[in-house]
Structure 1
């Protein structure tokens, strides 16, 4: 079935022009222009070879989810979407560097910054009920440095592949999404974020098994990041192992918990040992509130100093069940004081 981009543009309401960027797979990508937008946009368009109503419905659901979170910081904006002559969505054309185009491995601190930025985007969209499910280094762009991440695609291609029975798991796909037809959740995105971290730290994708997916530290898995890159702290390996655990329940419950683990190089899972209803659902803001990890806009639980008398700055602090060293916590407080003093000085 021949339907070049120019024919699509003539038939799609509000689309003035379209030229092909990528025409493989179930979803095609065009560079285009809209009557309502100045400048170039990108168009994700269902392939003209697809006529299955189930795939069309999958495209519509994924596009609607993307549109619902388009105003969140770090989400590639949506300009318009339509149904004729086939389902399509128009999004901003982002200037930035894909993580897949970076010269990895990166410095460990830079990796922490990137992961923190991506985790915050996923935290906001997850609270809106939208999960990506297909994160990879190619779907994340850095626009203004490592702390300014923009997330693209939002599982559009994956949703259509699953509906068409053409699923193609990548080394960044959570195992449960590679083998089952299920909706992604926080823990699936945590797995992908852990795999991205491995790539940024080592310059290579974690790749094991027939599907290309794997878990760090498991049988037949890729080498630990610290073995590939000597600058990676050994405790970071344990963080990656938890994030990329084969069983969803063994991972960090949310991207925010993974962010905290990367910041403190902790291998502990801050979730309580007992299984709860919100863990079954993949982790929610309720679990974050229970653990005092819901963020700066909520009251943190009182820190409990577990250091022995006379031990100086050794020992640890228990932050709502999340244990960090006193040295790290005191350093963070010091940074906060310095930042506040700098702000006052500029006023």
Structure 2
């Protein structure tokens, strides 16, 4: 067993944790202590060895961050009786420098026999998340496993247990629930609620988020943050990737408190077992870059402001950025809300997430009732006030509740619309892929025709090659015509605009499909010649083939135009039949959107 994995009493672990925290505080204050001064001789030998291992690992890491190159030899001179401890400390440093490789599904199945591991959902430096099924309860769950290197850190084991218990108590509809946590062999894990949906990053990247959707989502995020902050839990890594949107319209924050587990509150430089500053730089509050000792719940409020700005404008507030209302059509009073969350000084920001929600609802209700009544923001005391009498205030409270219900409905309709639009994309995919294959066939036909007429001196081969060459160009043009019109469909537009573009795809496809398909009654003759079967040109074979081909082509076009002739009762039904399954499914789904009155 690794020295740093030895079982110790909780009291011993707490003493080690406290001493390591004090050791780091002094390093961060530019007053680095010696390891010898932290390790007393009168403690239990096993506890002393574990503490020594922890302190050596910390000192090596801090020294390397300052540009030093510590080596094992100098530590052997300082601690000649602890060569095994030093070997393990330096080996641990080497392990940490390696990239995290997510465990295989087979490996996890061995570690968690009660779970059916379905697939890997995502992985990063802080671990990997898998979709799994709890067979006993027959429910889907998310299994998050942390890198095995944490198993070699006795201090981490203590912090994990402390903080995971707190996270498991964060029962809130807008926070991903933690069902279970623990350690399986060398792997720490969380068993969490599985959210069937997508991340906010997917939605923002797809350009499908409108300002009204953002205003419907942010109050739920405020609720989650306020609930956690009241419990003393800070997220410290609020970003679109950690905000999940389920198919029923619920918005949930994931990885709540994970940063606190992976990075002690006492670490001012954000030193972690994977050597990363906790948080994502583009969304981090300024104080997170300076010292995590000064980071409190207001860092989450700043990160929420970055997310809010990005949801409204599609851009990040970097450098000298414009107010949101200068980029999108929103109520200018929202500028004050967004910009106040992005104040560089924590004391100038909102002090509570609930204040953000309150101001958004106030602006929304005032806008709905009387556009002349705008809340006056008082920056000095950190509260928003409105010049409204008591009767108006009561009315606005009722309107605010109604507005929140409207926001929730908007969020659900948005997610339902997005899901249905994704289904339309999926239904059009076979048609698009089929047209790409048609373009590929057209390229082959051009090549076949070219090799037939370019290398031959016989008149009949030149003619047949030319026919195949021209037909190949026609096949390619028809495929491109359909593909380009499918690509022109912007699923963020209104349903009427999408309907119009989908109808255009159908009309083009219905027109070009017969031009490509029906001539094959005759086209096989030059194709056979191009492949070297000149026997088809023998009069006894050629004349009947041409007669049958001409009749077949003519009858096909006659029946087609007769069925599609405007004014015929079943012309529309025939058009749908010719359009094929892909367009029929896309149209059916779009009708669902229209019937639900989702715009």
Common fold: TM-score over 0.5: yes
Which SS does the other structure have where 1:42 is aligned?
A: strand
1:206 maps to 2:308: no
Equivalent residue, structure 2, for 1:160: 262
Q: CA deviation at 1:42?
A: 1.0
Q: Determine which structure has the larger helix proportion and give its number.
A: 2
Q: CA deviation at 1:16?
A: 4.7
From the superposition, tell whether residues 258 and 234 of structure 1 become closer, same or farther in structure 2 (CA, over 3 Å).
same
List aligned pairs for 1:253-272, cutoff 5 A: 253-265=351-363, 266=375, 268-269=377-378, 272=381
Q: Do 1:264 and 1:328's aligned partners in 2 also have CA atoms closer than 8 Å?
A: no
From the superposition, tell whether residues 325 and 267 of structure 1 become closer, same or farther in structure 2 (CA, over 3 Å).
closer
From the superposition, tell whether residues 333 and 24 of structure 1 become closer, same or farther in structure 2 (CA, over 3 Å).
same
Q: CA deviation at 1:140?
A: 1.6
Equivalent residue, structure 2, for 1:240: 338
- Partner Cα separation in structure 1 for residue 294 and residue 255 of structure 2: 16
From the superposition, tell whether residues 267 and 326 of structure 1 become closer, same or farther in structure 2 (CA, over 3 Å).
closer
Higher CA-based Rg: 2
Q: CA deviation at 1:191?
A: 0.9
Q: CA deviation at 1:46?
A: 1.0
Which SS does the other structure have where 2:190 is aligned?
A: strand
Which SS does the other structure have where 1:153 is aligned?
A: coil
- Partner Cα separation in structure 1 for residue 400 and residue 129 of structure 2: 47
TM-score by length of 2: 0.41
Equivalent residue, structure 2, for 1:315: none
Equivalent residue, structure 1, for 2:195: 94
Equivalent residue, structure 2, for 1:8: 108
Equivalent residue, structure 1, for 2:322: 223
User: Which consecutive residues of structure 1, in runs of 5 or more, have no partner in the other structure?
Assistant: 208-219, 274-320, 341-347
- Partner Cα separation in structure 1 for residue 342 and residue 162 of structure 2: 27
1:192 maps to 2:303: yes
From the superposition, tell whether residues 56 and 181 of structure 1 become closer, same or farther in structure 2 (CA, over 3 Å).
farther
- Partner Cα separation in structure 1 for residue 400 and residue 143 of structure 2: 46
- Partner Cα separation in structure 2 for residue 242 and residue 331 of structure 1: 24
Q: CA deviation at 1:253?
A: 0.6
From the superposition, tell whether residues 183 and 327 of structure 1 become closer, same or farther in structure 2 (CA, over 3 Å).
same
- Partner Cα separation in structure 2 for residue 333 and residue 224 of structure 1: 30
From the superposition, tell whether residues 127 and 83 of structure 1 become closer, same or farther in structure 2 (CA, over 3 Å).
same
Q: Which of 275, 278, 282 is the matching residue for 1:171?
A: 282
Which SS does the other structure have where 1:253 is aligned?
A: coil
From the superposition, tell whether residues 76 and 339 of structure 1 become closer, same or farther in structure 2 (CA, over 3 Å).
closer
Q: Do 2:175 and 2:224's aligned partners in 1 also have CA atoms closer than 8 Å?
A: yes
Q: CA deviation at 1:185?
A: 3.4
Equivalent residue, structure 2, for 1:42: 142
Q: Do 2:226 and 2:354's aligned partners in 1 also have CA atoms closer than 8 Å?
A: yes
Superposed CA deviations along residues 148-186 of structure 1, whole A, max 9, x for unmatched, are 321111142574264223125332222222332348533
Runs in 1 of length 4+ with deviation above 6 angstroms? 337-340
Q: Which of 347, 372, 376 is the matching residue for 1:249?
A: 347
1:150 maps to 2:252: yes
Which SS does the other structure have where 2:308 is aligned?
A: helix
From the superposition, tell whether residues 255 and 334 of structure 1 become closer, same or farther in structure 2 (CA, over 3 Å).
closer
Superposed CA deviations along residues 43-95 of structure 1, whole A, max 9, x for unmatched, are 111112443344444544443332111x2222212221111222100111112
Equivalent residue, structure 2, for 1:300: none
Q: CA deviation at 1:135?
A: 1.2
Equivalent residue, structure 1, for 2:398: 336
Mean Cα deviation higher: 25-34 or 11-20: 11-20
Q: Do 1:224 and 1:237's aligned partners in 2 also have CA atoms closer than 8 Å?
A: yes
Equivalent residue, structure 1, for 2:226: 123
Q: Do 1:10 and 1:16's aligned partners in 2 also have CA atoms closer than 8 Å?
A: no
Equivalent residue, structure 2, for 1:276: none
From the superposition, tell whether residues 57 and 223 of structure 1 become closer, same or farther in structure 2 (CA, over 3 Å).
farther
- Partner Cα separation in structure 1 for residue 391 and residue 286 of structure 2: 35
Q: Do 2:234 and 2:260's aligned partners in 1 also have CA atoms closer than 8 Å?
A: no
Q: Which has the higher contact order (CA 8 A, sep 6+)?
A: 1
Equivalent residue, structure 1, for 2:499: none
Q: CA deviation at 1:331?
A: 8.0
After superposition, the CA RMSD in angstroms is: 3.4
List aligned pairs for 1:293-304, cutoff 5 A: none
Q: Do 1:30 and 1:43's aligned partners in 2 also have CA atoms closer than 8 Å?
A: yes
TM-score by length of 1: 0.68
1:326 maps to 2:388: yes
